[in-house]
Amino acid sequence: MKVAIVTGSSSGIGQEAASDLAAQGFHVVYACRSEERAKAAIAFAEKATPGAKTTFLQLDTGKMKSVKAFAASFLAKFDRLDVLVNNAGSGYFTSKDRVTEDGLEAFVGTNYLGPFLLTKLLMDIIKKSKGRVVNVSSIEHWEGSYDFEKVSVKTGPQSYATSKLMLMLMAFELCRREGIQATAVNPGGVFSGIWWYMRGWKKMLWSIIAPLILLTTKQGSATIVHAATAEGLPTKSCYLSPYSQKSWCPYYSDMIGFFNGAGVALACPKAYREDQWTKLWEFSEEKIKPFL
């Protein structure tokens, strides 16, 4: 039986993707911080697919010791890994949480370096299984910065966007450097728990407007599932979007629109700079060195 890990699968697009992969016959590992929430997500999958094969293993991508413990637990239980979905992350941190316990800027540490370390620790089993990696990026990658050092020191306006650009560059470099089918995906603008930090009248107004203009979590998971299962995907610089992207306005047509299913799209031009793939890889190797 094929095995898939979906990080951050206790809610939202991660939960939907995990459920869909279970329905397609994968043994899905729910890699989540909260066991209670993961069990609820597993129940969601089992209701849709009675007899679904699932396992919970605790993971917090914002803590390097948790990433290492997860990898060790997984390797002790499984002898193959066909799909690793790096979905877990956060779109907002309060001021007191903007530095992780490892001394890393929270967006870079949680959204990118934790998944990078996890991928490195599972690289051998992915290769052995001829598996693939799916990195959940965002339209925000268009606003990301190449100044990885600056962004990783202190949380700023470009921190989140850069963490999403990093996930994309990492996927592209995985293809080139390691020969792994690795895809970066944009789930689209999704009405999910990612908006938890909104308060007061803004939250009330948003709860009315958002369902009218945003995708459902099921639609938002489409690019993840397609990247995890589809045949014939590009083997270099593969990026998927749920929208019908227009060549004359690639940014805005990749930001919001009518759901069009998962399709190959054009990322921001800065994502195709191969020298930046190398630069990021070397930066990442240096940053995770203390945790290996």
What are 91's two structure tokens? 């779109």
DSSP letters spanning 208-261: HHHHHHSBPHHHHTHHHHHHHH-SS--SSSEEEESS---TTSTTGGGTS-S---
Of the candidates 83, 66, 163, the residue with the CA atom closest to the CA atom of residue 118: 66
Q: Distance between CA 132 and CA 255 in Å, rounded?
A: 26
Strand pairing partners for 264? 240
Give the single-character DSSP code of 99: B
Q: Identify the active-site residue in 160, 243, 251, 252.
A: 160
Chain-centroid distance, C-alpha 157? 20
Is 146 one of the catalytic residues? Answer: no
Of the candidates 30, 36, 85, the residue with the CA atom closest to the CA atom of residue 55: 30
Of the candidates 163, 188, 144, 258, the residue with the CA atom closest to the CA atom of residue 12: 188
Residue 105 and residue 159 in contact, taking contact as beta carbons nearer than 8 Å: yes
By annotation, the residues acting in catalysis are: 160
